[in-house]
Amino acid sequence: MKSWLHRADVKASPYLYISPFYLLFGLLGAFPLVYTAWVSLHDWSLLEDEHPFVGLANYKALFADSLFWNALGNTASIWVISTVPQLLFAILLAHILNNRLRGQTLWRTGLLLPNVTSVVAVAIIFGQLFGRDYGMINWVLGQFGIGHIDWQAGTATSHIAISAMIIWRWTGYNALIYLAAMQAVPDSLHEAAILDGATSMQRLWRITIPSIRPTIIFTVIVSTIGGLQVFAEPLLFGGGGLTGGSDGQFQTLALYLYQAGFGRFDFGYASATAWLMFLVIVLAAMLNFLLTRRIRRA
């Protein structure tokens, strides 16, 4: 009996320990996904009592909606402009902080400050910095003879301003992740490279980055998922408007979804948008994974 209980404990207890996560995921993650898919197949307006089944009509309307493609293009553009520099800066910062510096703890703790700052405060500050008439960015550009830019009015300029907010908030967070991975790289490799005359950048490129590739893949995938769900920054940059500017020049997919659900109260259309957004994120994450894995093998 004791041996049976021991075998049962050894085999069953791991599943018992991890079961709370999967039960909560099923309740708070999987069920909303399935229910959203069900709602997307109906003409589900909050202003109506009846919700007739319409099949794939919401998806067909979405594919024919130019505003959806505009939001998708804006999301991709902001994601690229914000994610690539963000991860490059994070690697460089982590590499610098991985050296012996005075006040190391202070510098490393400081990396998290932008991340713990309220996104509303960040948006207000960056809104002032990128102000058309009195913003500091325009003042600096004016010193070089460049005229004032209306950052909100243009597609490229608004994407740059929103990307600057995202880069400022998340670079330090990713730098800490890279720093933790860099500290696991054996010092003997760097010492041998120094004896051979390698510079700091050569050691970063030839020793550090190859050694932390799994961590880089992780941050690329997580940043992809976060970058395609950008919502608060464009919402606050536009003063709380759901259209993402007068011509939708910085309306992201998340803003478009929110506008359909809570602006027009069309939950069927919003649910279809949510599912397409989910599929786009999964596809982008898979492409990122395959690309980074190919680079790692090369």
Measured torsion, CA atoms of residues 192, 175, 180, 217, in degrees rounded to the nearest 10: -90
Q: Is it the case that residue 135 has pLDDT exceeding 80?
A: yes
pLDDT band at 163 (very low <50, low <70, confident <90, very high): very high
Tell me: pLDDT of 162 over 90: yes
Cα–Cα distance measured from residue 128 to residue 171, given in angstroms and rounded to the nearest whole number: 21
Whole-structure pTM value = 0.84
Q: Which residue has the tokens 């913003």?
A: 135
Euclidean distance between CA atoms 130 and 161, whole angstroms:
7
Token code pair at residue 142: 């004016």
pLDDT digits (tens, 9 = 90+) for 96-125: 998 887 888 888 888 888 888 888 888 888
User: What is the pLDDT confidence band of residue 174, given thresholds at 50, 70 and 90?
Assistant: very high
Judge whether 208 and 182 are in contact, CB under 8 Å: yes
What confidence tens digit (pLDDT) does each residue in 274-287 have?
999 999 888 888 88
Q: What is the pLDDT of residues 53-108, one digit of tens each?
A: 998 999 999 999 999 999 999 999 999 999 999 999 999 999 999 888 788 888 88
